[in-house]
Amino acid sequence: MSDWKTLLQSDLRQPDFFFPEINFIAKLKKPGTVLEGLELADTAAFIMSSLLMKKFCLRDIEDIRLSGRLRDEAELISELTEYSDAILKELNPDGSVKENHPLLRSARSRIAALHKQINRISSGYLNENRDIWQSTIPSQRDGRTVLALKTNFRGRIKGLVHELSSSGATVFIEPFELVELNNDITYEHSQLNQQIIKIYRGLTEGLREAAEVFEKLVEQVYLLDTYYARAQYSNRNNCIRPLEAGSGMKIIKGRHPLLDDKAVPISLDYSDNIIILIITGPNAGGKTVTLKTCGLFVLMNQFACELPADEGTAVSLYDNIFADIGDDQSIEESLSTFSGHMTRISAIIREAGTESLILLDELGSGTDPSQGSAIAMGVLEYFRKNGISTIVTTHHAAVKNFGYTHEGAVNASVAFDSVTMKPTYEIVQGVPGESHAIEIAQSCGLSGDIIKNAEDYMENGDATVSGMIKELESRQYELIGRDRKLKEAEIELREERRKQDLLRLRLRQAEYNQKTSEYGELKRYIGDSRKMLENLVRELREGEISREKTLKVKDFLASFNEKLNDVKQGLDVDGKELVEIKTESVSAEELGEFKAGMPVRYTKTNKEGTLVERRKNGQWIVAFGNVRLNIAEDELVPLKKKKEKRVKISASGFNATPAFELDLRGMRVYEAENAVIKQIDSALLAGIAEFSVIHGLGEGILQKTVHDFLRSCGSVKEFYFSDPEQGGFGKTIVKL
């Protein structure tokens, strides 16, 4: 299916496939049967379209990378063009035999001559005595030409009466002069039909020889057509390929597959340690839609369909899915709402196993609330003890309490805005939802007196539970808001610290550069002084020189060397502090341990390079352009990768230089995929085990293309989105 998606997302024009419904395979395989003309024409159209599909799937397309699975499936399509050519040689697309067919030419000529003779005789009757005829145009009765004669002139024309009009005013008569001609034309038509059946039989017999091959062709084309339909749906609805969950499911901004643009995205975490998920909340808040979305996502995943959700969505596999959604009452079977639910739930309990998924809507409804709650909790307890995954919706307070008091059961709720009196369709896990029946009834126009009476009739126990739930909801929202603010503050603090470290690094770098410059000048000065003093000593030796003069010169040189060493030691200390600052400026959280592909700085030469491979005794192979050196790890400083650096790969084949940050923004889908392919090939040859891909956010098409390819690439060990400060969902880290 991924190959179909790639082709659909490209600029290629897809052929117009036409695959008629083929439901006459059994008839074709039965000896002696004859296919209708339209069935034969549909067979030819099917064979031609299957060949068109095969050629489209097997064509070599430059700059479009396919996995090869579509090509393998297309190779299995049999080419039966000799049969389609034979059919289309004799039949029209509508199944009729062609006019110039040699077997029908003489019969059709005789029929045309008879029609001409009949028309001539009929015109003679109608034009001779016009006042006795109801119509001047001949009619047809049972395939024979007759004339419409007024009843009161019946004795004027000798012939056979075929029919009398309902009013009795017209009689349809076949004059004796036309009887023999009508007999002849009926005979000729019979002969013509026999010839047509003979043609159909011959074509059918020819096709029957390849009946089994044709049946396999139909099955293979239908298989590819299902892939094509799934790819079309995935592209239209921005679907993703879900991850495989060990058990349960995790939905991130999932949209109900049948609601199109009306669907409100929901997020739900039905993780490994949850057996029973109880969803509560107001009416029309999205509980049933959530239940149906979960069921449809599981079914679509097991049918190899991609899901209308965001990346990170994971769904596990189930052997059975059972659902009790909607009212199953029946007057004919004497089933009430409650008994209808119980009948279906009983059947589910008999069939469900540990690998099943059960979806129950409004569990315990349709009867006395206290008894319905008790039955509901009994059913949930049975599923919980047997480890059967179950998602239920309910309004009963006692069932909500089940999620708090039983291990493996968790509450969730659909949120409700008490200000606007409308649901927000957001799933909040860990907190049961209030039904808000009174608020909803009031917003629907129920009078204030009735609302007041309803509030008075609320029992104290229910009011207490309602208040507790509202308090829990309030605290949950408060915690969510506080957590969001803490994360934002953490990001701000991290950014501020990075800026401060960067400023400190720049200041120390400037100071270090200044001292390095001064040290260089001092070194040159000492070198010149040394030469001058050596010349002086040589001159003294040539003249009269004493031991005292020589010692003074040596002391002078020693003082200069001592000063030089002091300055050098100071620079070494500053350099060490500068290295520590550089290391601190890039947090361990951001860089982690030394690993291949990481940019580093060599402290002795201050040059930047890239880690290629770890060696023994703490050594690394470091690439400085085209030069590679063995350097100790303690002499290297990790550097933060530069952001927003646009890298263009223009080399072809395996000679391209890999980029540590590949920028795909602005590229088309096939260009981006081709760039990723070249990047992986080059990285493998260069020994680079990690790089990043910038695809941006946008509509997510580039992101999906990159992830689909990385998921299918055997050289990719893992890939994931980068940290928020590094680009978040706009950048993907790839490990080979």
DSSP state string for 289-332: HHHHHHHHHHHHHHTT--BSS-TT-EE---SEEEEE-S---BTT
Tokens 């401060």 found at: 500
Count Cβ atoms below 10 Å from residue 413 Cβ, excluding itself: 26
The DSSP bridge partners found for residue 315 are 244, 249
As a whole number of angstroms, the distance between CA 31 and CA 325 comes to: 48
Cβ–Cβ < 8 Å for 305, 230: yes
Give this prediction's pTM.
Answer: 0.54
> Which H or E run includes 49?
helix 37-58
Count Cβ atoms below 10 Å from residue 468 Cβ, excluding itself: 13
Backbone angles phi, psi at 728, to 5 degrees: 60, -130
Query: What percent of the chain has pLDDT above 90?
Result: 11
Count Cβ atoms below 10 Å from residue 407 Cβ, excluding itself: 9
As a whole number of angstroms, the distance between CA 526 and CA 520 comes to: 10
Check whether 685 has a pLDDT greater than 60.
yes
As a whole number of angstroms, the distance between CA 128 and CA 242 comes to: 84
Mean pLDDT over each residue of the chain, to the nearest integer: 78
Check whether 117 has a pLDDT greater than 60.
yes
As a whole number of angstroms, the distance between CA 265 and CA 426 comes to: 8
Amino acid identity for residue 374 in this structure: A
As a whole number of angstroms, the distance between CA 605 and CA 73 comes to: 58
Structure tokens at 11: 């600029």
As a whole number of angstroms, the distance between CA 189 and CA 96 comes to: 15
Q: How many CA atoms lie within 13 A of 548 on its CB side?
A: 0
pLDDT tens for each residue of 182-230: 888 888 888 888 888 999 999 999 999 888 999 999 999 999 888 888 8
Return the pLDDT at 653: 39
Report which of 391, 426, 581 is spatially closest to residue 497, judged by C-alpha positions. Answer: 581
As a whole number of angstroms, the distance between CA 359 and CA 321 comes to: 8
Expressed in angstroms, the distance from the first to the final Cα of the chain is 25
pLDDT tens for each residue of 443-469: 666 666 665 666 665 554 444 555 555
**335 DSSP 8-state letter:** B
pLDDT tens for each residue of 34-60: 999 899 999 999 999 999 888 888 776
Return the pLDDT at 460: 43
pLDDT tens for each residue of 574-631: 555 555 555 544 444 455 567 788 888 887 777 788 888 887 777 888 888 766 788 8
As a whole number of angstroms, the distance between CA 58 and CA 72 comes to: 9
Amino acid identity for residue 200 in this structure: Y
Return the pLDDT at 584: 47
Amino acid identity for residue 306 in this structure: E
